[in-house]
Amino acid sequence: MKKNRNEFEIISDFFSPLARDKGSFGLTDDVAVLSKAKGYHFIVSTDMLISEVHFFSNDDPEDIASKCIRVNISDIVSKGAIPKYYFLSIALPKETDDKWIKSFTKSLKIEQKNFNISLMGGDTVSTTGPLTINIVCIGVIEKNKLIRRNGAMPGEDIYVTGEIGSAKIGLEILKKNIIANSDLENYFIKKYRLPCPRNKLGPELINLASSSIDISDGLISDLNHICLASNVKAEVNYSLLPVSNCISQLNLTENQLKNIILNGGDDYEIIFTSNSLNSTKIFDLSKFLEVNITKIGMIVQGEGIEVFDKESKKIDLILDGYKHR
Amino acid sequence: MKKNRNEFEIISDFFSPLARDKGSFGLTDDVAVLSKAKGYHFIVSTDMLISEVHFFSNDDPEDIASKCIRVNISDIVSKGAIPKYYFLSIALPKETDDKWIKSFTKSLKIEQKNFNISLMGGDTVSTTGPLTINIVCIGVIEKNKLIRRNGAMPGEDIYVTGEIGSAKIGLEILKKNIIANSDLENYFIKKYRLPCPRNKLGPELINLASSSIDISDGLISDLNHICLASNVKAEVNYSLLPVSNCISQLNLTENQLKNIILNGGDDYEIIFTSNSLNSTKIFDLSKFLEVNITKIGMIVQGEGIEVFDKESKKIDLILDGYKHR
């Protein structure tokens, strides 16, 4: 690293101030100690993010930090848990300067407050390759309350939070594959760079959702994980899928749009299933938390996913990006 | 990756069979659930290893897997804890083929048995840079029994396990900076590639050691962490430091040797401090577990480290590799 500071100094100057939980020992020991209330379990999620794959090298360090934290938070909250700790390993290219690290850690500090989490440990190394960040997020959940992928039952409703496809449009704008006016560009790029994990909603789903997952690979791909694990089939109404109003202002073909909405990915919204008796409670929760929750289809017996258009005609899903398993 | 298999298939074909603990859900869900006996704490350690920094790209995948696991196990056991779980994130260069992954995971399976740990989750991504591996190791320890860095007291003895400097010699042989006959080369290179974490000894130190650390950066550098955290000074007798008999067969100058022994690193032996009343117990433990444990000096009031030769003459520590803090 281009540096006045060595690894130890980077840790003591930038990362230690973020380690406020007493179990982290201020990053001055070799391990961290986790603690939790009785009757709770720890759950763990981990994601590795690489420059030019999961973000761009010239993205603001603040945005990179936020995205790395948020995609992990999303995993935890989408299962009904409350995030508590995180560990950060970072491989820094040689040209990384102190200014970059300062901005990166400034953003971590803000995200710690946003999500009430504490840095507990990690590793700082130098790499000849791209900036590589591994985050481990540890949350707590009441025993036996985890919302798994495998609980969906025929007859249940399928819901999704927020809006779908906007992050993918942001990515395509950054790649110059979609052109829009600057207001629209900013809107969609922000959706890609700064996902909003549903941290208020997730833990409230514990007694409502029979299965859940967050959308990282794409609506169909991630819903398919639920179907596979639960041994059920999903029927989705394409016209019900929640998309941004701004999408109509983009010059997209019908097929481009379908592909973006169904297979886009990077949304970090929650798909969940629930008994139809819960629909009023879910509607009330949506209003109370000010989070859009949209019913998009139903679970039926069978396997796989079918998506129908307004005229109940099946939409072909063998589109670019759909990972068949 | 050069692959028939995509990320999902790599996970299901190679990594899922390693996930035997029920809290891992066979890697078919988004998070893992940790469980432990009452009265215990979880402790966490994480290390990121990068090709050409922490190992060589043409090393056997078996050795790379072993080293990544073992350096993390070392952190856990050196604090008195028992390793239980690990999470593995791996960024694979495009040219990685299935054969490589098969060998890598075969070795993970062996190490899981060696150390009684289970894969609980992780992430598999593709990188344009060097192979990058992040391991998180989670262990359990009785409440309030963690051996910290900060418990060393004036008057206590300083001990070290195994032998010091051999791993560094192995590294220098691999870098063609030291030449030896092939038997010697194999001996030292193995010390570098396959550290032996003191997993039997570590948990036995709980009621004996007042402070401990494993040697990754070098004897002086890591002992210095103890001195800093404990606010004490260490006096080390150079002639007591345990080194391999084979070292005398190498063509090293006195200064080269001193530098290797004092600042070499990668030993993954344990340095610990203990009240002199415990010396018989430590000697018995050493015999019982068949682990060399050598008294190398004493903790005194003051700060920093002094190393003395046979004639009680101070040895200059401002050598290459010594990280002053």
Q: Give me the torsion for CA of B244, B245, B248, B252, rounded to 10°.
A: 0
Percentage, residues of chain A above pLDDT 70 = 96
Q: Is A320 helix (H, G, I), strand (E, B) or coil?
A: coil
Residue B224 to chain A, least CA–CA distance (Å): 12
Cβ-based contacts of A229 with chain B (< 8 Å)? 28-29
Residue A190 to chain B, least CA–CA distance (Å): 24
List pLDDT tens digits, range B157-208: 999 999 999 999 999 999 999 999 999 999 999 999 999 999 999 999 999 9
Q: With contact defined as beta carbons under 8 Å apart, do B271 and B160 qualify?
A: yes
Residue B291 to chain A, least CA–CA distance (Å): 22
Backbone angles phi, psi at A39, to 5 degrees: 85, 0
| Sign of CA pseudo-dihedral A18, B127, A325, A300 | positive
Are A53 and B126 an interchain contact pair (Cβ–Cβ within 8 Å)?
Answer: yes
Which residue is closest to B42 within chain A, CA to CA?
A34
Cβ-based contacts of B16 with chain A (< 8 Å)? none
Cβ-based contacts of A79 with chain B (< 8 Å)? 29-31
Are B134 and A214 an interchain contact pair (Cβ–Cβ within 8 Å)?
Answer: no
Q: State how far the Cα of B147 lies from the Cα of B198, in Å rounded to an integer.
A: 14
Cβ-based contacts of A44 with chain B (< 8 Å)? 31-32, 34, 87, 120-121, 136, 138
When pLDDT is averaged across residues A109-128 and rounded to a whole number, the result is 96
Q: What is the ipTM of this complex?
A: 0.92
List pLDDT tens digits, range B83-106: 999 999 999 999 999 999 999 999
Q: With contact defined as beta carbons under 8 Å apart, do A146 and A41 qualify?
A: yes
- The per-residue pLDDT for A4 is 54
Considering chain A, what is the average pLDDT of its residues?
Answer: 93
- The per-residue pLDDT for B5 is 76
Percentage, residues of chain B above pLDDT 70 = 96
List pLDDT tens digits, range A257-291: 999 999 999 999 999 999 999 999 999 999 999 99
Q: With contact defined as beta carbons under 8 Å apart, do B269 and B214 qualify?
A: yes
**Confidence (pTM):** 0.93
Given B35, B43, B325, which is nearest A33 (Cβ)?
B43
Percentage, residues of chain B above pLDDT 90 = 89
CA B235, distance to chain mean position in Å, is: 23
- The per-residue pLDDT for A251 is 87
b or e along A244-263 (b: 16 or more beta carbons within 10 Å of the residue's beta carbon)?
bebbeebebeeebbbbbbbb
Given A28, A45, A87, which is nearest B30 (Cβ)?
A45
List pLDDT tens digits, range B237-271: 999 999 999 999 998 999 999 999 999 999 999 99
Cβ-based contacts of A31 with chain B (< 8 Å)? 43-45, 75-76, 79, 81, 139, 146
